[in-house]
Structure 1
Amino acid sequence: METSSARGRAFAAQKPTFLNVLGDLWDPQSNPNGVVNLGLAENTLMHAEMTEFINTDLQIDAHALTYGDGFSGSHRLKKAICQFVNRCFSPWTVLCPFDLAITSGVSNALECCAWALADAGDHILVGRPYFNAFKTIFGTRPGIELVEITFGTTDPFSMAAVDEYERAYAEAKANGLHVKALLLCSPHNPLGRCYSEDVLKKYMKFCSRNGLHLISDEIYALSIWENPRISDATGFKSILSLNIKEFMDPSMVHVVWGLSKDFGSTGLRIGCLISPCNRLLLEAVEGISLYNFPSSVADQIASSLLVDEKFLEQYVSTNRDRLAESYQFATDFLGSHSIPYVECNAAFFIWMNLGAAMKDRTATDKDILTRLRDTKVYIAPGTVYAAEQSGWFRMVFAHPPHVLQEGLSRMIRAIESERL
C-alpha cells in the first residue's frame, strides 16, 4: 500500500542533490575529507563582517515574538528597503512602503509572481541558460511552464537577442501556448553579465506589443566588480531606474531583490517584490502571505542593516574588491590549466567549459560530474541550467583563496587523467 500521494512521491523525486553536499562540507580542520562546495550560489567573502554587524547590532524586542505588523514584512523593514532601493537602484519614481511586499526570500517573491500573474498551464519566456531553480519556482506548485529561448551564436545580452524572443513567442502562440510574462535575470545567473539600458528598453517594447508582464530578477544588483579584461562591460541598471511608462504599462513591470546574494545571507530569507503600479498584485501577495512570512528576527536584522548607510557603503565597496580578487584568482587558475571560460563582471559565477578540457570529447556532463564527485568537489553542470551546449559548468568563485585553491585543485585532479 502506498503511504504517500502521487504528488508526494513526485516531490520526493525532486529532492535537490546538493542537500547531500551540505551534509558533508569540507573544512580544513574539522572535515578535511568533506566536499568542497563551489556549486551553490553563496558568497562567503563577507561573512565575518556580516556576523560582526549582526552580533553587535541585534536588539530583539517583544514585537519580534508576535505576528508583528502582518505577514508581508514589518513597517520598519518596508521603509528600510525603500530607503535602500531609492539610494542604490535610482528608481525613476521614488518608492514608498506601499509599493512592495516582503517575502521569505527571492524565490518566494518569484513564486508569488507565478501565483498572481498566471494560471496553471500558462507559460513564461526565459532565455538559456537560466537559473535552474526557475523551473522549480514556477512549476512545482504554481504549475507554470517555461518557454526556453535558444540564442545560438547571438549574444544573449544584445539587441538582436530580443528578436529571438520575438520568434520564440510567435512560435509558442502558434502552438496554442498562453504566454503571460518574460523573465529577465540581471545581473545574470549563470553568465554574470548585465543588460544595457537600450536592451532593457527593447524588452519593454516587446512586452508592450504582446501584452506580457516583465519580471526582473535583480538579486545580484550590487555584486558588480571591475574586470580589467573587459573594461567596457555593461554595469547594472535597474529596470526601476527607467521611465517605464514611455515603453510599456508600468503595472506590468515587477522587480524582485533580497539579501541572500549581495549580503551573503542566504540563511536570513529576506526578499521583496516591488510593483509600484500594480496594487492588485501586491494584494494577491498579501492573500497568500501566511505561506511567505519571513522571520521577525531576520526582519529586524535586515531593517537595521539597510538603514546603516556608513556600514552599507563600506560593505559594498569591500565586497566588490573581494569579488574582483577571487575572480582574478580563479580565472588565473583556469587559464594556467587551459580551461576555457566566459569573461564576466557581475554575480558569483564563472561559466567554464570542462568538456573542452577532456581528452575524451565524447564525455558527457554526467561523466564529468561523476569524476568531480569522486574527488569530492561540487560544481554544477550546465545541463541543469539548460545550457545550449554540453561540457559547460557553473562554478561559484565568491570564496576566499584557500577554498578556491582546494576546490580547483580537486577539479583538476578529477579531469587530469583525461587531459590532452
Structure 2
Amino acid sequence: MMFDKLKTGKLVLDVSVPIPEKFLNLLWKENVIIEKANRIDITTIRLEIDYENYSEVEKVVKKCRGKVKIIHREGFIFVVSRMKKQISLIIGGVVFIGGLYLLSNQIWAVDISTKENIAPYEIRKELTELGVKPGISKGDINVYALEKKLEDINSNILWIRARIEGSTLKIVIEEKVTPPKLTNAHIGDCVAGMDGEIKRVYVNSGTAKVVSGDIVREGDVLISGIQGREGDEYQVPAKGTVIANTFYEKEMELQISGKKLERTGHIDNDVYLNICGRKIYLKKAINKFKYYDKIETNRGVINEVMYFQREEKEVNENKDEIVKKAANQLEESLLKSLTNDAKITNKEINVQDIEDGKVRIKVMFLVEQNIAMTPN
C-alpha cells in the first residue's frame, strides 16, 4: 500500500483527435477519471488526469488516431524518476568525495632533505623500520615523537624537523659537523673508502678486521697491516679486496604534461667590436623571438651574442615509459663514475609529482664494489 501511494502523480495533457467528443466518451467508458477538461481548439483538449491512468489514455488516443503531449507533471513519482536518472552522478560524487577524503588523510610521499654525510636512503630505511612509509594515515604519525626517535637512532643528526604538508611528510635534517675522524689505522692498513655493508673479504697480506654483514664507515680499518701470532706480530703492507654494498642516489626532473619551451633551430646573432668598453655593432640581430636562449661569446675585440629561438610545445608523455627511460639514463650516468669491478645489483625508483606537469624521479642504487683503500 505504501508503494502505491509513492506512485501517485498528476499529468496535464494536450490531446489532438479528429472528434474530441468521441474521445471523451471512450475515456468515460474505460472509467478514466478526468479532473479538468478545457477545449483549446476544434481538435485539441487539455486534460488533467492521474498518472496511473496515463496508459489507458494513450490506448484511447491511438484508437482515435490522435496525438498526446504532456504539458505538465507533478507528484512524488516524477521526483523519484528524476532521481533515478541522476543516481549514477550522485553515487559517483559521493564515492569521489569519500575517496578524496580518505586519500587526503594519508601520507603518499616522504621528502627527505639532508646534507653530505647522511644519505636520504639511510633515513628512509630507518623510517620504514619505524612503520612510516607511503600509505600510512596522518593520524598515526606524531611528528615530534618521530623527530625524537630518529635522533636516538642516528647519532649523526644534529637537528631534525618533521612536518606534514598536504599528503607529503617533509623531513629536514642538519648533520653534526665533527672534526676529522681519528682511527686506529696505521701506515700500511687498508681502510674503507666509503660507507657500506661488508659482503666478502679477501686478504692477500695482513689481518682482516671485518666480516660479512658488518656496517663500516669511511676511514674504518678493514685489513690491518699486522700478521703473526699474539706476542710475535710483525708489520706487513695490508693488501686485499673488501667487497661491500654501497648506496648512491641520483635524481632527475622531467615534464610529462602541459607546456614546455623547446628550441626551434632558428638562430639570430649580434656581432660587435669592443673598443675601450664601447660596442660598435657590425651586425645587429632583429630578434623578434618571444622566448629565446642568449649565449654571449667574448673573444676580446670581436664578440658575438647568439639568440636561440624557443617556442611553447604541448607535452603529453607516457609516465611509465618516461620514468623507465630516466632511470636507465641515471644508471648509465652512475656507471661512468664507477670502477670497472663495481656492479649495480639493485635499484629503487621513487616518482614524485610536482607542479606544472613535472615529475621528480629519484633512484637509489645498490652497488657492490671494492671499498678497500690504502691511505697515503
- TM-score using structure 1 length: 0.20
**Larger relative contact order (CA 8 Å, sep ≥ 6):** 1
- TM-score using structure 2 length: 0.21
Q: Which has the higher strand share?
A: 2
Which structure has the larger Rg? 2
